[in-house]
Chains A and B, each alone.
Chain A
Amino acid sequence: MTAAPSSPTASAILDSAELDRLIAGLSGEGYQVIGPTIRDGAVVYEPLQTAAALPWGWADRQDGGSYRLVKSERNAAFDHVVGPQSWKRYLYPPVQRLWQAQRRGRGFLGVTRNPPTPHYAFFGVRSCELHAIQIQDRVFNNGAFADPGYLARRAAAFIVAVNCARPAGACFCASMNTGPRASEGFDLALTELLDSERHEFLVEVGSAKGAAILGCLSYRPAGDSDIKAAQTVWDAAANAMGRTMPAGVETLLKHNLEHPRWDEVGQRCLNCGNCTLVCPTCFCTTMEDVTDLTGRTAERWRKWDSCFTLDFSYIHGGSIRRDSRSRYRQWLTHKLANWHDQFGSSGCVGCGRCITWCPVGIDITEEARAIRDNGG
């Protein structure tokens, strides 16, 4: 696990009723608050007006290819874990117009600029997601090819993290050293303390911005018993992980590019692209240049793409990766192995989304284990 401070430098206790004021306070500071809420049978990240929109009393049951919301035994705001969406939806929108130009004479002029940068407050960011954001930071803040839109949205964002009280069935953050406890990269971090006697939140402050917002709320300083209660929550989540990624997976995959397991998983893989789109670190996009009927207006759009499409590897003469086997291998070896060479860390944060949202339940931890256990 990532080293976390055993006692936070500044922490406070908020009553659960204060969540509303926290959301209002963030709105008052000009942030659009985005947080978890229930839609169409899942927890999704959408604009929040009040704390009432949080999934109070709901938990999720997750397994390969299956996600169900279930009533929790208690009325917690954050007993759910991660859903089908991630914060990349806001930091790196799925469909974005990059520019528009009008025809003038023989050329094009009048390029329109992008709309002003939105100021988001992300409410309820899990530790794995904080790590995913930091991974995307490294992808997009890369010098010559930095993405100004992403960096502007990222710099403007306020992050309220939430420490998981329970992992979902597909979670394996503990074995990726990315959670379950949020250790850095937040402005405020909440731990929900709920028992028969109280419903409160331990708040850890991670930045001056966070301290300023906390200062607008009614709170009391956290005592030793509060920290101890929070520690119980953190430990319970860490000790209940649903899945584990085998150690040394980077080397394992690099040494097994022709393992028969790739053929086997290729038979099951639908090459539908779901795993890449729910992954909080996958960043591939395609560009579409469009014109209107008259040819007087041209636009460039950027859209989320996936290495599971044929077009993704299309070069002169055709696609390089024509079968599911080679596309699946490309994705998994990039995510778990070659990402280290490219960006200095694994591309996987153990959130389990690719397992849960694979329509046929392919489990990357199981695939890695199968390679390891069969001569890999």
Chain B
Amino acid sequence: MAIGKKPKLAVWKFSSCDGCQLSLLDCEDELLQLAASVEIAYFLEATRAQIRGPYDISLVEGSIATPEDVERICQVRRQSKKLITIGACATAGGIQALRNFKDVDQFIQAVYAHPHYIDTLATSTSIGNHVSVDFELRGCPIDKHQLLEVLSAFLNSRKPNVPRYSQCIECKQAGTVCVMVAQGIPCLGPVTQAGCGNLCPRCRRGCYGCFGPKETPNTASLSHWFEQLGMPPREIQHAYRSFNANAPEFRKESERYD
């Protein structure tokens, strides 16, 4: 980043619920430091004031789900020196990617009184499917500490400390007791990337896979174990078909149960 001049930060929304952008506003204690470190140039959820590009860092939330999204993400990419996608929608297509497994026209006919007003793509896909991305930050929603870590890393030209290993490693570091081993609760932790602070296992719930597939996930072996725990095949399929349903490894595993 240029010395003596604050880097310009932009936050963009595509097809999404806004929750990940909100994580930025949720930084609370660190928000003033963030505002002092960057010039918030475009962030409609926080301010109507807009500063023209190009931008040093763009945070992109949401998936590509409409023809307009396809054009707009290319414009955002052209204006951004570094483009960081945030959240399951931007990194995997989000919950709305459930449409990818069905015929979207049938949904539109069934749901809308005037289907001809609806202009949508047949699929919901990640930003990385359309433009080059400098870093993908996982989560539904993202974890604010990881967001600050990624921003700190980019502002200081270093590698972000965002491990791609399993949720289990985070649970064990924190001393959280394994819910699958100690209570027989099916948990996606062994195939899911760490980062949430083991929110669900801490509350005696299995991991829902919000942070998407870990590096080299062995979903087939875990599904086999779920079967042995008595989980019906349809529920196993549903476990993989949530916020990261279109992440390739989860998609492939859920399709084994079609």
**Which residues from chain A sit less than 8 Å from chain B, CB to CB?**
39-42, 44, 65-69, 84-85, 89, 94-95, 267-274, 277-278, 288-295, 303-306, 308-311, 322-324, 356-357, 359-361
**Which residues from chain B sit less than 8 Å from chain A, CB to CB?**
30, 33-34, 36-37, 148-149, 151-153, 155-156, 158, 161, 163-166, 168-169, 172-184, 187, 189-191, 204, 214-218, 220-222, 224-225
Q: Is the CB–CB distance between B158 and A359 below 8 Å?
A: no
29 A-B residue pairs with Cβ-Cβ distance under 8 Å, sorted by A, are A40-B179, A40-B182, A42-B177, A65-B180, A67-B182, A69-B182, A84-B178, A84-B182, A94-B172, A94-B174, A268-B221, A269-B218, A270-B221, A270-B222, A272-B214, A273-B165, A273-B169, A274-B178, A277-B172, A288-B161, A291-B156, A292-B152, A303-B173, A305-B169, A306-B169, A309-B165, A310-B216, A324-B216, A359-B180
Instruction: Specify the chain B residue showing the minimal Cβ separation from A293.
Output: B37
CB distance from B183 to the nearest CB of A (A): 5
A sample of 20 more A-B contacts (CB under 8 A), given A67-B178, A357-B181, is A40-B182, A41-B177, A41-B182, A65-B180, A66-B184, A68-B182, A84-B172, A84-B181, A85-B175, A268-B218, A270-B166, A270-B190, A272-B166, A272-B214, A294-B37, A295-B155, A309-B165, A359-B168, A359-B222, A360-B225
How many A-B pairs have beta carbons closer than 8 Å: the answer is: 142
Q: A44-B175, A84-B177, A309-B215 are in contact. Are A277 and B148 (CB under 8 A)?
A: no
Q: Report how far A209 CA is from B114 CA in the complex, Å.
A: 83
Q: A42-B182, A67-B181, A95-B173 are in contact. Are A273 and B34 (CB under 8 A)?
A: no
B173: chain A residues at CB < 8 Å are: 94-95, 277, 303-304
A311: chain B residues at CB < 8 Å are: 163-165
How would you classify the secondary structure of chain B's contact residues: helix, strand, loop or mixed? Answer: helix
- Partner of A293 from the list B148, B182, B220 (CB cut-off 8 Å) is B148
A274: chain B residues at CB < 8 Å are: 168, 172, 178, 190
Q: Is the CB–CB distance between A271 and B218 below 8 Å?
A: yes
B204: chain A residues at CB < 8 Å are: 40-41
A295: chain B residues at CB < 8 Å are: 152, 155-156
Q: A277-B168, A309-B163 are in contact. Are A294 and B184 (CB under 8 A)?
A: no
Q: Report how far A278 CA is from B221 CA in the complex, Å.
A: 20
CB distance from B1 to the nearest CB of A (A): 10
Instruction: Specify the chain B residue showing the minimal Cβ separation from A274.
Output: B168
Q: A289-B158, A311-B164 are in contact. Are A272 and B177 (CB under 8 A)?
A: no
Instruction: Specify the chain A residue showing the minimal Cβ separation from B221.
Output: A268
A85: chain B residues at CB < 8 Å are: 175
B34: chain A residues at CB < 8 Å are: 293
Q: A94-B173, A271-B216 are in contact. Are A290 and B191 (CB under 8 A)?
A: no
Q: Is the CB–CB distance between A269 and B221 below 8 Å?
A: yes
Q: Report how far A293 CA is from B37 CA in the complex, Å.
A: 7
Instruction: Specify the chain A residue showing the minimal Cβ separation from B220.
Output: A267
- Partner of A272 from the list B168, B174, B184 (CB cut-off 8 Å) is B168
Q: Report how far A294 CA is from B152 CA in the complex, Å.
A: 7
Q: A293-B151, A311-B164 are in contact. Are A44 and B177 (CB under 8 A)?
A: yes
Q: Is the CB–CB distance between B152 and A291 below 8 Å?
A: yes
- Partner of B165 from the list A290, A306, A357 (CB cut-off 8 Å) is A306
A94: chain B residues at CB < 8 Å are: 172-175
CB distance from B240 to the nearest CB of A (A): 15
A84: chain B residues at CB < 8 Å are: 172, 177-178, 181-182
B30: chain A residues at CB < 8 Å are: 293
B172: chain A residues at CB < 8 Å are: 84, 94, 273-274, 277-278, 304
CB distance from A280 to the nearest CB of B (A): 13
- Partner of B189 from the list A95, A272, A290 (CB cut-off 8 Å) is A272
Q: Report how far A84 CA is from B175 CA in the complex, Å.
A: 9
Instruction: Specify the chain A residue showing the minimal Cβ separation from B173.
Output: A94
Q: Report how far A311 CA is from B151 CA in the complex, Å.
A: 21
